Structure 1
Amino acid sequence: MAGLEGTERPRQAAATAAARWTPAVDEELALKALERYGDPTLGEVRLPSCPESTVAARRLTRCVVVTQWGLSAQLAEQAVLLVSELVGNAVQHTGARHFGLRMARRRGWVRVEVRDPSRGLPCLLPVRVTDTNGRGLFLVDRLSDRWGVDLLARGKTVWCEMRVADR
């Protein structure tokens, strides 16, 4: 019994957190992220290079894709995953203090850009079923219709695009 006590607290905390989550709470958090960092559709928003920024970027994406652009839940989930992977790579691999996030929609396309000051290029690695990391760019490659890197005078922009149906 003593061994189970240690696992009950995390389970209770997770159950309590899940009980507090609602779409309204998610939308409120997304709007707070929008107020704090800005709208990535109006220009590049600057985020600190830390794991918490991945959460903020996901919230910004959901807010933009669903609320502003009115895209389907499936496209929203795909866009959120793409942003999460690009931002995660910037946070984990560049050593930057900040990175920029920008999103654009044009006829039939959604584009996501993550700019950082590193000129190190991302590498698409082969992925095996047993791999526990190194899947980020693989997912970007599979989920987006196209992606690439633009080298800048100081840094780079990693971008991806996905096709969307126009209303």
Structure 2
Amino acid sequence: MSFEISGPRARDGVAERDARRVRMARRATAALLCFRGLDRLVDDATLIVSELVTNAIQHSGGVRVTFTMTVRDGFLRLAVLDCMPGQPIVQDAAGDPERGRGLLLVDCLAAANHGTWGTNEDGTEVWCSLRLPSREDS
């Protein structure tokens, strides 16, 4: 899934058109996982996708976002490419801020699913991998 980022942002930092694209990415993720019999990963994967796509829209300064999802070698890999170099910053969630916890959530969900997350060398792509559930996990 690939789309151009809209122009002016709404109050919360995402234009309505872009918010619809985030919802589409979540729905596509859920549909593919259910189709593949990976229902157990739907909640965590859709939250991760929402965070990564929203971060790319809000913080990249780019004009295009591409989301990919692959299942290979026992892992689900979710990746968002925004074509703008720069490493994401994991913020300290001390206090009670309304924003800034997205990558902390991604990190926690990846760890809970025996996976990890990271970026490519120049930071244009952020990815997360989740281990596929075994038959015993289901």
The TM-score, its normalising length taken from structure 1, stands at 0.66
Per-residue CA deviations over 1:49-103 (Å, capped at 9, x if unaligned) read 2222111111111111112x1112x410100000000001001001222111111
Of the candidates 104, 124, 128, which is equivalent to residue 138 of structure 1?
A: 104
* Structure 1 match to 2:125: 157
Matched, 1:111 2:77: yes
8 Å contact from structure 1 (residues 99, 115) kept in 2: yes
Per-residue CA deviations over 1:94-129 (Å, capped at 9, x if unaligned) read 122211111111132100010011102101111135
8 Å contact from structure 1 (residues 78, 143) kept in 2: yes
- What is the deviation of 1:166? 4.2
Percentage of pairs with the same residue? 36
CA distance in 2, matches of 1:47, 1:61: 16
Of the candidates 3, 28, 34, which is equivalent to residue 66 of structure 1?
A: 34
Letter aligned with residue 25 of structure 2: A
The RMSD of aligned alpha carbons is 1.6
- What is the deviation of 1:47? 2.0
Name the SS for the 1:151 alignment partner: coil
Q: Which structure is higher in RCO with an 8 Å CA cutoff and minimum separation 6?
A: 2
Matched, 1:54 2:10: no
Query: By percentage of residues, which structure has more helix?
Result: 1
Larger radius of gyration: 1
8 Å contact from structure 1 (residues 51, 91) kept in 2: no
Shift >6 Å, 4+ stretches: none
How many residues are matched?
119
Residue segments in structure 2 that go unaligned for 5+ positions in a row: 6-17
Residue segments in structure 1 that go unaligned for 5+ positions in a row: 1-44
The TM-score, its normalising length taken from structure 2, stands at 0.79
* Structure 2 match to 1:38: none
